[in-house]
Structure 1
């Protein structure tokens, strides 16, 4: 049976069909047939709401088997981090967060979502956390991954020297880490 991977898209008008679908295609190609990538459309992608996305994500998480892999890009990664902090039990094989904005001191401000510094102690130490950021990301400053690294000192941080916000549509580094973890 194929290992489950849930990919949560970033925010913005048309992101699901015109941007992050290319990341998913790269991940599927790199992971191969031993992995099944699920890529749901998040509601209101052009004007995202934490509350609405969290509810949609909860429904998606309920469909997953234990030890499934979670991947979130941009706002989707931020939502995953916050939503997992509210989970009652650790049951996921790994959390892979790509170019996620950090909300709170030093990062961006947000209404409806708490400070990212408040969640590390609530995410299971048994859930491996990988943080990726492209050094050439024009959307989310690279400083955000360093804020996450400070908040999550056990996280594996990968700064990709030539990566943009979409990682040049190449998630081979992420796929390699997923395979090594599995």
Structure 2
């Protein structure tokens, strides 16, 4: 049986085609043929808004099957967890994987577009496994953000990876191993 993975890109000019595409290629390579990785282009990647990305994610969620895995990189991870917390999709999800996601709220970054994060444990789908990843060499999003998410999602597992930059050095092997371990 083929398993679904939805990868949500980060924000910025050219991110879909010139940055996060390398993460997706690595993830596909590491997962192999038993997985299909969907990689939709998010609207206005160079000037994103929560409402536009949330609407695009709702459409993507509608075509997911039970057991689908969700992966969000950078701003895509921030939007992904917010969209899930506001309105979880109908299918039972297999796992949520956030990579170098900025934390919006106290101790993290401010945003007029996205409300401050709170305790997500009561608003995420019950029993959803959550993995949080951050590289120690990330120059875009401080490593402290992953620990802020860990406080907001007490059941999450944190993986801080030495020597990894914001783009994880284009290596998604740890994420792929965790996805496979859930199936």
TM-score for both structures, normalised by structure 1: 0.97
Q: CA deviation at 1:41?
A: 0.2
Q: Once superposed, what is the RMSD of the aligned Cα atoms?
A: 1.1
* Residue 155 (str. 1) matches residue 156 (str. 2): yes
CA distance in 1, matches of 2:118, 2:146: 12
Shift, 1:119, TM fit? 3.3
- Counterparts of 1:27-176 in structure 2, within 5 Å, are 27-88=27-88, 91-176=92-177
Shift in Å, 1:125: 3.3
Shift of 1:124: 2.3
Runs of 4+ in 1 over 3 A off after TM superposition: none
In structure 2, what is the Cα distance between the partners aligned to 1:148 and 1:118? Answer: 9
Structure 1: tracts of 5 or more residues without a match: none
Question: More displaced, 79-88 or 146-155?
Answer: 79-88
Q: For residues 105 and 49 of structure 1, what CA distance do their matches in structure 2 show? A: 20
Q: Return the alpha-carbon distance in structure 2 between the equivalents of residues 141 and 87 of structure 1.
A: 28
Cα distance in 2 for partners of 1:166, 1:125 equals 30
The answer (yes or no) to whether the contact 1:90–1:126 under 8 Å persists in 2 is no
Unaligned 5+ segments in structure 2 are: none
* Count of residues in correspondence between the two structures: 182
Q: CA deviation at 1:67?
A: 1.3
In the alignment, the residues of structure 1 paired with residue 160 and residue 76 of structure 2 have an alpha-carbon distance, to the nearest angstrom, of 19
CA contact (8 A) 2:121 2:155 kept: no
Preserved CA contact (<8 Å) 1:90 1:127: no
CA distance in 2 between counterparts of 1:12 and 1:48 reads 8
Contact 1:90 1:124 (8 Å CA) reproduced: no
- Point out the more displaced range, 122-131 or 48-57: 122-131
